[in-house]
Amino acid sequence: MLTEKRSFAAGDYCFKNSGRTIPITFGYETYGKLNDNADNAVLVCQYFTGTSHAAGKYAETDLLPGWWDALIGPGKVIDTDKYYVICSDAISNINFNSPTVITTGPGSIDPTTGKPYGMNFPIFTLDDVVILQKRLIESLGIAKLRFVIGPSMGGLQAYLWAKLFPEAVEKIISVVATPMMRPSCIMVPNQLGIEAIMLDPKWQNGNYYGDDAPYKGLLLAFKMLLTATRTDHWSYSNFKRTFLDPTFITCANPYQSFSGRFLVEGEVEKSVITRMQFFDPNAYIYIAKANTLFDLCEPGETLKDALAKIKTPVRMIIDDSDLMFTREQSEEARPLFSDCDISYYNSRNGHLSCLFETDYLKEPLNRYISQ
């Protein structure tokens, strides 16, 4: 399945909490065909480090397809022979420097100064991301979505669709995300990742554009993220306590030097470096901040009262091994929704199973989509 990136000029947008107004543009992709009644549309929301490239390839020669290609396509679980599937780039997309990502973020040029926004970019929430998605959906002539779905941060956006635009979505399906952001998740990986970047001397209060970016801080932040989204089972089964170089020729003995390393350190760092070539550290800071600010409750409102207001059917798929969004949280939320069903699986490998072990998702997704 071949696809192409499109650009959506959302116009001037006033951010919900900051009150700042700036022009916003972001990218999106579509798969399948919108029917004559425009009533077969589905929105897929990106995860934290994801993009709108959820499925297909831009060219036959691409090495890899989109991140949920195993689930989206002709005859697949999210069947593009039946549904018109839309996925958009979030504002401040972390992959700001990728040629296939279109996003307005801190690295974008502020039209009032002619320089990158840097830390003058408005602090935003996922509410803003969803409100901008609604503008895109309306521009496509779609009044109501069959469902909104996404993993992790994408699941958080799905809950916000149920809160903010219940008339515009038939149901939501949240994958490895619960409707609350607990203090532990605020800290790890989000706030600690922000601080890791800011502590890098090259960060320069966010004014590093044109100079070396604070990639050491970004590397540490991303390693924190990867560690939080995996498990002891995953790390031990893959790396055990093996030294990075058991011969100690290319890497020192950890018992004799602080530069000595274990295999888990080297392999995690290698996988992180492979991913972060297009990352903008400031964009990481802003999207992490948006995650810490996720809250379905209005000021002074209890979670019970907030979830009771949501009448849109809610479907959750939770990995029992997830350290960030847990079964305990989902079971706390279940009775507070008017219509909620939850499916569980146990990959033993943690939060990122939603991207790398998608076979676990197929049965519950088939059931929830067909309901």
User: Which domains, from first to last, does the chain contain?
Assistant: 6-182+296-370 (3.40.50.1820), 187-287 (1.10.1740.110)
What beta strand segments (E) does the chain contain?
6-14, 21-31, 41-45, 72-73, 78-79, 84-88, 109-110, 115-116, 147-151, 172-175, 314-319, 340-345
Give the pLDDT confidence score for residue 371 in this predicted structure: 87
The verdict on whether 322 is a catalytic residue reads yes
H helix or E strand, kind and range, residue 192: helix 192-198
Q: pTM score, two decimals?
A: 0.97
What whole-number distance in Å separates Cα of residue 196 and Cα of residue 222?
Answer: 9
Could you tell me if 171 and 158 are in contact, meaning their C-beta atoms sit under 8 angstroms apart?
no
- The DSSP letter of residue 159 is H
pLDDT in tens, the chain (371 residues): 999 999 999 999 999 999 999 999 999 999 999 999 999 999 999 999 999 999 999 999 999 999 999 999 999 999 999 999 999 999 999 999 999 999 999 999 999 999 999 999 999 999 999 999 999 999 999 999 999 999 999 999 999 999 999 999 999 999 999 999 999 999 999 999 999 999 999 999 999 999 999 999 999 999 999 999 999 999 999 999 999 999 999 999 999 999 999 999 999 999 999 989 999 999 999 999 999 999 999 999 999 999 999 999 999 999 999 999 999 999 999 999 999 999 999 999 999 999 999 999 999 999 999 98
- Catalytic residue, from 53, 235, 351, 353: name it: 351
Could you tell me if 172 and 314 are in contact, meaning their C-beta atoms sit under 8 angstroms apart?
yes
The verdict on whether 152 is a catalytic residue reads yes
- Catalytic residue, from 235, 322, 330, 347: name it: 322
H helix or E strand, kind and range, residue 344: strand 340-345
Q: Are strands 314-319 and 340-345 parallel, antiparallel or unpaired?
A: parallel
What whole-number distance in Å separates Cα of residue 337 and Cα of residue 320?
Answer: 21
Of the candidates 56, 133, 29, 152, which has an alpha carbon nearest to the alpha carbon of residue 90?
133
- Catalytic residue, from 152, 321, 330, 347: name it: 152
Dihedral of CA 66/95/146/292: which sign? Answer: positive
Report which residue type is found at 6.
R
Give the pLDDT confidence score for residue 27 in this predicted structure: 98
The verdict on whether 110 is a catalytic residue reads no
